[in-house]
Amino acid sequence: MSEPAPSAQTRRDEVLVRIRGLRFRRGERVIFDGVDMDIRRGQVTAVMGPSGTGKTTLLRLIGGQLRPEAGTVEVDGQDVHRLGRRALYALRRRMGMLFQSGALLTDLDVFENVAFPLREHTRLPERMIRDLVLMKLEAVGLRGARRLMPAELSGGMARRVALARAIALDPMMVMYDEPFTGQDPISMGVLLQLIRLLNDALGLTSIVVSHDVQETAAIADYIYVIAGGRVVEHGPPEALARSPSPWVQQFMQGLPDGPVPFHYPAPDYAADLLEGVP
Amino acid sequence: MTAWLQRLGRRGIGFFERLGRGHLFLLRVLAALPAALARPRLLVAQLHAVGVRTLLIIGVSGLFVGMVLGLQGYNTLVDFGAEESLGVVVALSLVRELGPVVSALLFAGRAGSALTAEIGLMKATEQLSGMEMMAVDPLERVVAPRFVAGLVAMPLLAAIFSVVGVYGGWFVGVGLLGVDDGAFWSQMQAQVDLHDDVYNGVVKSLVFGFVASWIALFEGYDAVPTSEGVGRATTRTVVHTALAVLGLDFVLTALMFE
């Protein structure tokens, strides 16, 4: 007899990305010092933290573009940093990534940018590529912009095209690197809605790295807050809102002063001013 | 004194580190060549960008260099009554030296700097990272086709430079200064050797094409991904290629025409 099919609940609880004891440093600077995370299938998981805490680095570690000093990153049961090049590339075909800048190929138009992974990795006939690209562009609302060049797109449109490209090969997960930075409120709303809708409609797993706290918390199922190389808090958005940690409260509410001081460490103000007096 | 030594040491280590990175990069590009050669459409596009777009400057420069050679050669030869050897002087100068060397220098300025800037900007705008994350190797997709294009384009450009230069010399010598047309061509035919002169010139331009493409692509790939970094890398491409081409030219000439 075969194993019974897992119920919807157990499948939902499965972990797609498992990070254990992750350590990474750039030169002398320790970026991660023992980070543990579980990214569950089918969920939108947000990774938040102040600028410069290595959120983008985390995505690059998951994607195998960087190697950790210690610890493991497992994606769909495979240890990313033990894979050979061929296996890593096979795994990456099942991961989409949306870069902060969009990272569209500037010499190709919108259509060709979305068609790029299809042309590189499949031998589909031209008609089918056209249909697939139009479907992906329709999903992000830019079917009509297919002949525009990347330089003609607004920042928000460029990210939507990059999103269409990221889902072109129907990946199991999509990683978003600061998708809302520099967006006007309308573009931001569109992107927020797209991330949630695509995640649910396509059965994706999404990792959103961001420091736009309120917006990201609105669409996330689970949030990790990292700072100082460690996970300082994690849980569903409503649990985080009730966190007893003053640091988390300051971060979530965007308060200018608190455990993270407004002032960069400096000598005494009065002494500093008087030092210039002859 | 120790600070000075430290600085010297750091620079030395930095230099060799970069040299090592450059060679590793070259090995990876060479390993990516079969995959690039399997995609002729990418190669043709790059041959157009690297070769055809450099054609105009090569043609115009070749013409003027040939004309100057004609003028200078005539003024020197006429003192010895040997102006009928002008064809030989012009052709040998171009085929052996000026064709490969000047076209390589022009190639570095026109195509090499463009390659560095293009790849550096692709890096700065995360296009290369984006490709990696789409499981597309940028070395296979972006770098290797450009490398092959540079390698193929360089000897062709040098040949065109030399041919146009010979006609420039002919125009000045025969057309303007009255050197005998028949003597110009027949002496050239008799004296210029296919193996010793033409082939050696082709070998030189192949070597220069290899080095110029390697430097340009490595500088772009290794550029600091900022606008300042890409600017510096572009300058380095032109300077390093010029130095490498002139230095190698001496070595190759010493080996070929000893």
pLDDT higher than 80, residue A69: yes
Mean pLDDT over B84-104 rounds to 93
State the helix-helix crossing angle for B40-50 and B2-37, rounded to 10 degrees.
130
Distance CA A72, CA B17 (A): 29
Q: Closest approach of chain B CAs to the CA of A106, in angstroms?
A: 8
Residue in chain B lying closest to A117 (CA): B134
Angle at B219 between CA B98 and CA B227, to 5 degrees: 120
Residue B141 sits at the chain A interface (C-beta within 8 Å): yes
Residue A86 sits at the chain B interface (C-beta within 8 Å): no
The whole-number pLDDT of residue A3 equals 43
DSSP state of A264: P
The whole-number pLDDT of residue B1 equals 79
Q: Closest approach of chain B CAs to the CA of A239, in angstroms?
A: 33
Partners of residue B141 in chain A, C-beta under 8 Å: 120
Mean pLDDT over A81-93 rounds to 91
Closest CA to A213 of A255, A252, A258: A252
Show Cβ contacts of residue B151 under 8 Å, excluding neighbours closer than 6 positions. B206, B209, B210, B213
Higher pLDDT, B185 or A275: B185
* pLDDT tens for each residue of A114-150: 999 999 999 999 999 999 999 999 988 889 999 999 9
Residue A106 sits at the chain B interface (C-beta within 8 Å): yes
Note the Cα A196 to chain centre separation in Å.
13
Residue B247 sits at the chain A interface (C-beta within 8 Å): no
Distance CA B234, CA B114 (A): 8
Residue A68 half-sphere exposure toward CB, CA atoms < 13 A:
29
The whole-number pLDDT of residue A7 equals 47
Q: How many CB atoms lie within 10 A of CB A203?
A: 11
* Beta-carbon separation of B126 and A97 below 8 A: no
Nearest 10 degrees: Cα torsion B20, B26, B27, B32? 150
Show Cβ contacts of residue B155 under 8 Å, excluding neighbours closer than 6 positions. B202, B205, B206, B209
Q: Closest approach of chain B CAs to the CA of A67, in angstroms?
A: 15
Q: Which of B133, B137, B142 to mutate to test the interface with A (most CBs of A within 10 A)?
A: B133
Tokens standing for B219? 């500088």
Mean pLDDT over A205-224 rounds to 90
Query: How far apart, in Å, are the Cα atoms of A245 and each of A46, A239, A258, B230?
Result: 19, 12, 11, 44
* pLDDT tens for each residue of B194-223: 888 899 999 999 999 999 999 999 999 999
Beta partners for residue A235, in sequence order = A223
Partners of residue A65 in chain B, C-beta under 8 Å: 129, 132-133
DSSP state of A4: P
* pLDDT tens for each residue of B132-160: 999 999 999 999 999 999 999 999 999 99
Burial of B194 (0-12, 13-18, 19+ CB in 10 A): exposed
Q: Which of B132, B134, B146 to mutate to test the interface with A (most CBs of A within 10 A)?
A: B134
The whole-number pLDDT of residue A74 equals 92
* Beta-carbon separation of B130 and A121 below 8 A: no
The whole-number pLDDT of residue A267 equals 85
Terminus-to-terminus CA distance in chain B, angstroms? 46
* Beta-carbon separation of B130 and A92 below 8 A: no
Closest CA to A253 of A266, A264, A261, A242: A242
Residue B31 sits at the chain A interface (C-beta within 8 Å): no
The whole-number pLDDT of residue A256 equals 77
The whole-number pLDDT of residue B258 equals 67
Show Cβ contacts of residue A229 under 8 Å, excluding neighbours closer than 6 positions. A30, A31, A32, A33, A34, A35, A53, A54
Partners of residue B137 in chain A, C-beta under 8 Å: 89
Question: Are β-strands A230-235 and A44-48 bridged in parallel, bridged antiparallel, or unpaired?
Answer: unpaired
Question: Are β-strands A70-75 and A15-26 bridged in parallel, bridged antiparallel, or unpaired?
Answer: antiparallel
Partners of residue A179 in chain B, C-beta under 8 Å: none
- Give me the residue from B129, B137, B141 closest to A103, CB to CB: B129
| Average confidence score pLDDT of chain B | 93
The whole-number pLDDT of residue B167 equals 96
Confidence at A12, pLDDT banded by 50, 70, 90: very low
pLDDT higher than 80, residue B166: yes
* pLDDT tens for each residue of A223-270: 998 888 888 889 998 888 888 888 888 888 877 777 766 777 788 888
pLDDT higher than 70, residue A2: no
The whole-number pLDDT of residue A81 equals 92
Q: Which residues of A161-195 are buried (b: 16+ CB within 10 A; e: fewer)?
A: bbbbbbbbbebbbbbbbbbbeebeeebbebbbebb
- Give me the residue from B121, B126, B133 closest to A92, CB to CB: B133
ipTM of this complex prediction, to 2 decimal places: 0.80
Q: Which residues of B116-126 are buried (b: 16+ CB within 10 A; e: fewer)?
A: bbbbbbbbbbb
Percentages of chain A per state (helix, strand, coil), in multiples of 5: 40, 25, 35
* Beta-carbon separation of B133 and A93 below 8 A: no
pTM of structure: 0.85
Distance CA A107, CA B123 (A): 14
Nearest 10 degrees: Cα torsion A261, A266, A272, A276? -130
Cα-only R_g, chain B: 21
Distance CA B127, CA A106 (A): 8
Note the Cα A117 to chain centre separation in Å.
19
DSSP state of B192: -
pLDDT higher than 60, residue A5: no
Residue A63 sits at the chain B interface (C-beta within 8 Å): yes
